[in-house]
Every structure is written in C-alpha cells, then in structure tokens.
Amino acid sequence: MAASTPDNQRVRLDKWLWAVRLYKTRSLAKEAVEGGKVRYNSQRCKPGRLVELGATLTLRLGWQEQIIVVDDISERRRGAPEAQMLYHETEDSVKKREDLARQRKTMQASQLTPARRPSKKDRRDLQRFRDQNGI
C-alpha cells in the first residue's frame, strides 16, 4: 500500500497538509497534528512524520471528519485545482459528511425562533408552569 518515496519526495506531514491547502498556514497544520486532529493510518503521529503515497489520513476540520488518501507528494503550495489532485477523499467519507450536514440542517430548521416575543401573560403562564412542576 505505501510505496517508498525517493529522497527528493520526502515531505513532513504538516508541510504536506499546508501544501494541499487543507490548512491555511503551516503552524495551523502543526497544531492540528499535535492536537490529535489528524491521524496517519489510524494512528496519532507527529508533525515531522514523512508522508508516503497511499497513506490514509483522517482529518477533523470543525464539524467535519474527512478520510483522504495521499495520491501524490509535493512540498510546494500551488493553486487549489493542482492541490486537489494530490489526494482524494474516500466515498464513505463523502457520504458520511453529506449525511451529517443534512442532519445539522434539519436540526437547525426544527429549532426555529418563535414568531413573537412572549407577552406578560405568556411569561406568567410559563412561571406558573415551572413553579407547579418544580423546574
């Protein structure tokens, strides 16, 4: 699965994450790896870990968790279209992210704010309900 890389293709994990534009700065990539937000082949690792072809990375970016596979190695930061060709996301990961996004959207829709502020009578009724039920 992991092919040996030539000497000119030896790149640190934090530098590769920055080069493929998953993190805005190299220091943010380093903090993410040190904080356990990035797993290399299902194991915690250090920012200095050398990236190999075919390695599986699990990234936690905010609410999302992505599972990506390394297709190519580069230490230079290039444009977004070129950077996206250096890795691909697994189909299971894409499906899972879409499902979670859909769930968050429905949760947000179900927690709509009321049409108006409660009146004085509404507040009194709420207080009476709380007092009777020990809330």
Domain ranges of the chain: 1-98
Q: Which amino acid appears at position 2 of this protein?
A: A
Q: Which fold has domain 1-98?
A: 3.10.290
CB atoms within 10 A of CB 84: 13
Distance separating alpha carbons of residues 58 and 70, to the nearest angstrom: 11
CB atoms within 10 A of CB 22: 19
Give the pLDDT of the chain (135 residues) as one tens digit per residue: 444 445 567 899 999 999 999 999 999 999 999 999 999 999 999 999 999 999 999 999 888 899 999 999 999 999 999 999 999 999 999 999 999 999 988 887 777 677 788 899 999 999 999 999 987
What's the angle, vertex CA 54, arms to CA 48 and CA 60, rounded to 5? 60
DSSP 42-90: TEE--TTPBP-BT-EEEEEETTEEEEEEE----SS---HHHHGGGEEE-
Closest by Cα among 18, 1, 26 to 73: 18
As given in the structure block, the two tokens for residue 44 are 């915690």
Q: Are 38 and 57 in contact (CB under 8 A)?
A: yes
